[in-house]
Amino acid sequence: MMVHRDSLRSFLFDTPANSPLAETRIATAVSKLLVVLSGERKSDIAEEARSDVYLDVLDDVPCWAVEGAVRRWFRHECGSDERGKAYDYKWAPDPGTLRKIAMEEVYVVGARIGVMQRMIDAREYVDCTKQLEQGRAAMAGLNKALKAGDPFASTMSFEEAIAYASEPMKQAAE
């Protein structure tokens, strides 16, 4: 379980800030988005500047999350914006919106890591009912011996006190 948790954590660092390959993957995903849903064609300089803005905004987001966000955008599965209004899927999302959608992907993995960490940190349940019952029996045996005036009550062992508790009550005449 710890290996799986660590593997998931390593995916969170697959960002353009840490890997040139991740930057390439994000650039490819953003390019697909902009080419398919660009609207009117702008100059190459404007398109390059637009792509640079996306890369700047997404530099700390894992590449797989951006790819997932783009896939969700194409499938019209991104839900609605913060005002509750449905997204307009005819156009590419702005960089901040794409980041928000990608971070939803990251939060799912983060939540999974959190659940796994809580399971790893959980303490094993130890059933102590048998030991508690023995302790109660020993206490009952010691109390019984003291009430009966047994001269050996002060030197009784734990096991002797348990045995004394199960013996029938001794008569005062003995």
Q: What pLDDT digit, counting tens, does each position of 56-102 carry?
A: 999 999 999 999 999 999 999 988 888 888 888 888 898 999 999 99
Q: Tell me the pLDDT tens digit for each residue of 27-61.
A: 999 988 888 876 666 667 777 788 889 899 999 99
Other residues' Cβ atoms within 10 Å of the Cβ of residue 106: 20
How would you class 63 by CB atoms within 10 Å of its CB: exposed for 0-12, middle for 13-18, buried for 19 or more?
A: buried
d(CA 57, CA 59): 6
On whether the pTM is more than 0.85, the answer is no
> 86 in helix, strand or coil?
strand
